[in-house]
Each structure stands twice: as C-alpha cells, then as structure tokens.
Amino acid sequence: MGRGKIEIRRIENKTTRQVTFAKRRAGLLKKTHELAVLCDAQIGLIIFSSSGKIFDYCSQSSSMQEIIRKYHSHKGNQTVEHNEQEQLQNELRRIRRETCNLQLSVQQYTANDLNNMRLEDFDQMEQQLECSINKVRARKFELMQQQMDNLRRKEKMLQDENNQIYHLIKQQHMAMGHQQAGVSKPEEAQHVLEQFPFYGEEQPSSVLQLATLPTPFQPYRLQPTQPNLQDFLQPSNYGE
C-alpha cells in the first residue's frame, strides 16, 4: 500500500508542527546539497522557523554574500545598493566633521588652542561661558536650597522628639511625686489608729471576749443606798 496524500495546510498542533518542520527541513537541506553537488549549481538556502530560528545552506563553490549580490544584480537592484553605500559614506563624513568641530570647541573652551580665533569668536565664547556659569550657579543654588529644606525638616523632627522626651520626663516626675504623697498618707492614718484601744490587737468577736479584755479605767463599785443593805454590810452585825 502506498502512502496516502495529505492535505497541505497549517498543522494546528504545535508539537506535531515542530516535529514535521524538523523532518522536512532535514530533507530539504539534503535535497539542496544533492542538487548543488550533482548539477554544480550555486544554491543559497535560508530558512526561518516559526520561533525565529534561522537555518541556511550555501553551496561549497560560492558564498551566501556572493549569491545575494548576484541575486540583486539579476533583479536590477544595483542602484539601490549604490545609494545605500553613498548614504553610508555621507553619514560617515558628517559624523567625522561633527567630531572635529567638537574637538576644536573643547580645545577653545579649555584655552588650549586660541591662536586661530578672531575677536568675534572670543565675544561669542565669552557669552556662552557666561550663560553656562549662570546655569551652573542656578543649579548650585537649587541644590543648596534643597539641602537647607532637608536640614529644616530634620531640625523640626529633632525638636518634636525633644518635646516628647521632655513631656515623658515631666510625667515621670509627677508620678514619683504622687507616690511619695501616697507613702505619707498611710503614716498619718496609722497615727490616728494608734489612738484607739484595739489598734494592733485582735478584735473581740463576742461580748464575753470584750468583758475579759483589760481596760485602763477603774471598775465601778456598787455604792449601797438602801438602809437595810448598809446594816448588812456593817461588821458588827456579823458577830450577832
């Protein structure tokens, strides 16, 4: 059975497309080499893959630049190539001329070569130098102003920190004063409590304990007021 004819269209599967590209690229390069060797043909082949990679082949009897030059020659692109070279030459001459002028200007501004200058040239250079000095001074003043602003902000920050530290120290001193005042008040309360008879002792829990406690006062004595009780307490009545 022969191979079936496939439809020539873009392969949607990326992996299959890469595999097919690698296989057919190798076959194309092989066929190109065979054609160049068998027929003594000058062949230049350039291939760009979908990812941007380049593959080329050139017959051994020539070079890629020679083949491209021959291609432009046969296509009538000689005028375009000549114009491009002329444009490159003109651009090169312009760059060299500007470089020379810049070197002369640098030598003049550094006062290394002033022999070929005229009076008008000196006046123009003086004006340019004054303009440059004014720009330098303006930039210098701007930088100094920025530094002064930064120093003012830093000074304000330090002043705020100093005020915060001062308030913290003041609060600590006030707290210490309150603590010292709190120590003196309990001493006064203790002096007041010492005036009471039960201070420092266990408090009586009942009337009996209260009766047994010593008292600094003299106990009251019963004074007989009735006549019969006075007669009873007299010693002469005991002998009877």
How do residues 31-66 score in pLDDT, each as one tens digit? 999 999 999 889 999 999 888 889 999 988 888 888
pLDDT in tens, 138-187: 999 999 999 999 999 999 999 999 999 999 998 888 888 877 776 555 55
End-to-end CA distance of the chain: 172
Helix/strand/coil (H/E/C) assignment for every residue in 156-200: HHHHHHHHHHHHHHHHHHHHHHHHHHHHHHHHHHHHHHCCCCCCC
Residues in the chain: 240
Indicate the pLDDT class of residue 73, thresholds 50, 70 and 90: confident
Do the beta carbons of residue 129 and residue 109 sit within 8 Å?
A: yes
For the whole prediction, is pTM greater than 0.75? no
Question: Stretch 115-126: mean pLDDT, rounded?
Answer: 77
Percent pLDDT > 70 in the chain is 68
